[in-house]
Chain A
Amino acid sequence: EPEVTQTPSHQVTQMGQEVILRCVPISNHLYFYWYRQILGQKVEFLVSFYNNEISEKSEIFDDQFSVERPDGSNFTLKIRSTKLEDSAMYFCASSDLGDLQPQHFGDGTRLSIL
């Protein structure tokens, strides 16, 4: 069964450093998303992406965050200058075109900021 793959599974970074989280969405999907889950809290929406541009973003997704689809398969989340509070699980998701299409999630990247 096709799946969303994310790399790396765990990223440890010094505060203030840039980090790029990578995702390969399901191949025929057209909508892409990033969510995060801080330890002990809910899964929260960050951003959605369609047709090479951001469709929606939450308040969390400030100027430190950016997304990109650099080629036909990858979808990346960049955090420019990481803060301690960016430590979380980051999940990538994708969905197909059309109504009532569920979002399918990857296994996440655990980001630890030191």
Chain B
Amino acid sequence: DQQVKQNSPSLSVQEGRISILNCDYTNSMFDYFLWYKKYPAEGPTFLISISSIKDKNEDGRFTVFLNKSAKHLSLHIVPSQPGDSAVYFCAASARYEGNTPLVFGKGTRLSVIA
């Protein structure tokens, strides 16, 4: 059951360049999407989210784009920094009120090379 797919298990990017992480989903009921970052031996840390009524949300170096017709979202990090090296998880939920289970992708390991 792969309702949320992150098809790239890993990505390497030069420091200062843009990192683009992609995520696809199949459940058209999803209307709230989140990106989490995870370092080894730590839990997922919330980065940024977007609801289905928007197509873009920006927070500092992080921007999330949502294409509902393609059921696709992406996370852009610019400029990329070595500290951004981590596993990035895309997550989605079918309702954006509280108490809603998140469905996670498998994650993409980002390596930012100095």
Contacts and interface: CB of A to CB of B under 8 A. Distances in A.
A102 B34 contact: yes
Interface string B89-107: 1010000111111111111
A38 to B, nearest CB: 12
A42 B104 contact: yes
Interface residues of B, number: 25
A31 B99 contact: yes
Given A102-B34, A103-B102, A4 B43 contact: yes
A114 interface: no
A56 B94 CA distance: 13
Max count, chain B CB within 10 A of own CB: residue among A43, A55, A107: A43
B45 interface: yes
Interface of B: 32, 34, 36, 41-46, 49, 51, 89, 91, 96-107
